[in-house]
Amino acid sequence: MKKLAVCLTLSLAALVPFGQDSKAAANFTDVGTTHRAQAEIYYLVEGGITSGVSETRFVPEQQVTRGQAAAMLGRTLNLNGEQRLTNFKDVGKNNFASGYIKQLVDKKIISGYPDGSFKPDKTLSRGEMAVLIGRTFEYQSSSVSVAASSLMKKGIASGVADGSFGETQTIKRGDFAVFLARSINADFRTADTEKFDHDFYVDTKDGSKLNLRTGPNTSYPSIASIPSGKIVSLAYSVGDWAYITSDNVKGFVHSAYLQGDKPSDKPDPTPPPVVDPTPPPGKKPLSDITVVIDAGHGGWDPGATANGYIEKNLTLNVAKKMEKYYAKVPMKAKMTRTSDTYISLDARGDYASKVKGDIFVSIHINSHTGSSANGTETYYYTRSAAVNPNVSQSKALATYVQNRQLEAWGLTDRGVKIMNLAVLRQNTVPAVLAELGFITNKKDMGIMGTEAGREKMAKGLFLATLDYYYYYENRKDVLPLYSTVNATPSGKLH
């Protein structure tokens, strides 16, 4: 129901011609046509991300406070700014930015001081600005200098007169607007550093067209409408909005309407479930096969964390998406966890035997102290000491899992590896562990951080399990199962 409401709002907004926008265009007497930040200030005001101090004055030379910065970044990400209690002694519910401060703290974008204060009225330095923007847009920002260099490389900021970044200098409202607008919309940048290299299908579910907007919220005008089913290319995301290009027009769409799969023209695109085909002689029916899906980490064990992402949440999300694919086929799926709970490594392997599982796929996300490590790898275990005797089965399954992951995302191929891990070793069925990508790498998270990207991966993992049964177990009765997702077998790889 929630999605329907969004659709309605988008279509109604498209009917209002640009000139008749109910909001009067801003006109600041202190930001004239020759002002250095004119285009960027009006761009942010148009999207409601910032506003003047009055209807006629923006005061671009005034310094930015931490509270103001939080409000602007929160609005950029479309966070709920409703004023509320925070944990800071100096940010009461009545502070205009309390809602945004609370949300940005939860997302680990902004933090307070060791004495329990936030200092919302303290002016922001250029260094703090670089780190805040870096965390908001998921740039590399582990320190002030790393964050500053990210902004400079992307053509978002340049140094000050002495050649340094000027990290201790305070930042003015006009300059903050420039940096923020450039971060949101690459068209404002001084360097062309973004590649539109991830393809997705537009899927509006109801056949309506999708508005391509000039900014990442519905206050921005629509400049094109994209038919459902069309392929568009993504460069990066701003919160839940995606910066894409379609027919050489660049702009923003809500990422809920981007899918990894080609949508059908028909209202119900789901093919009918496959009835259990006749098994080959001597083999049990497919309906007796159980795939155990293991979402890595959970509960007090978050796994890897970086840039506001938490491994345990992403792995559970992919696992749940993967589980859904088994609903249309005779094979069954069982999940080691379906919520944010802690399960020991041994218990995961025990679960596989308890539910009479046939194969085990563990889902994880890699991390590294540096941000450049990237790509996809899959593990199995082979040592003779292993409790798990299914070495050749595990290796074949790992090969098909790795292959479908690369097909789904096209990230760097780090290969199939032998790894002594408890969930593989202490298991009684063919078992693999997929490291989908690196939580610490921006390119990997550019895909993994989106619903559409995770859907693609879930489908790939599902297909890998079909490939395993089709080729390794030589079960031709698996063939009709591919039709449920309009796919075909991968090719023999083991």
Cβ 452 to Zn ion shortest distance, Å: 22
Cβ 366 to Zn ion shortest distance, Å: 7
With CB under 5 A as the contact rule, the residue among 303, 357, 430, 437 that binds Zn ion is 303
Residue range at the interface with Zn ion (CB under 5 A); choices 284-292, 360-368, 459-467, 479-487: 360-368
User: Two tokens at 228?
Assistant: 């459902």
User: Two tokens at 472?
Assistant: 């390794």
Amino acid in position 268 = D
Q: How many CB atoms neighbour CB 21 within 10 A?
A: 13
Q: For residues 344 and 63, what is the distance between their CA atoms, to the nearest angstrom?
A: 51
Does 337 sit near Zn ion (CB under 5 A)? no
Applying CB under 5 A, the site for Zn ion has a residue count of: 3
Does 296 sit near Zn ion (CB under 5 A)? yes
Closest CA to 236 of 164, 187, 203, 283: 187
Cβ 301 to Zn ion shortest distance, Å: 9
Q: Which residues pair with 232 in a beta bridge?
A: 200
User: Quick one: 364 or 395, whose CB is closer to Zn ion?
Assistant: 364
Give the residue numbers annotated as catalytic, written as ranges. Answer: 435
With CB under 5 A as the contact rule, the residue among 126, 321, 364, 443 that binds Zn ion is 364
User: Quick one: 120 or 303, whose CB is closer to Zn ion?
Assistant: 303
Cβ 364 to Zn ion shortest distance, Å: 3
Residues 6+ apart with CB under 8 A from 364: 296, 297, 303, 311, 315, 433, 434, 435, 436
Residue range at the interface with Zn ion (CB under 5 A); choices 243-251, 340-348, 362-370, 384-392: 362-370
User: Quick one: 351 or 472, whose CB is closer to Zn ion?
Assistant: 351
CA dihedral 35, 243, 133, 297 (to 10 degrees): 170
Does 52 sit near Zn ion (CB under 5 A)? no
| Residue 116: Cβ-neighbour burial (10 angstroms; 0-12, 13-18, 19+) | exposed
Q: For residues 78 and 188, what is the distance between their CA atoms, to the nearest angstrom?
A: 20
Closest CA to 457 of 391, 411, 397: 411
Cβ 373 to Zn ion shortest distance, Å: 14
User: Quick one: 279 or 308, whose CB is closer to Zn ion?
Assistant: 308
| Length of the chain as a residue count | 494
Q: For residues 141 and 61, what is the distance between their CA atoms, to the nearest angstrom?
A: 26
Binding mask 160-179 for Zn ion (x = CB under 5 A): --------------------
Cβ 466 to Zn ion shortest distance, Å: 25
Rg (CA), the chain: 25
User: Quick one: 230 or 368, whose CB is closer to Zn ion?
Assistant: 368
Q: For Zn ion, which residue has the nearest CB?
A: 364
Residue range at the interface with Zn ion (CB under 5 A); choices 127-135, 266-274, 276-284, 361-369: 361-369
Catalog residues that contact Zn ion under the rule CB under 5 A: 296, 303, 364
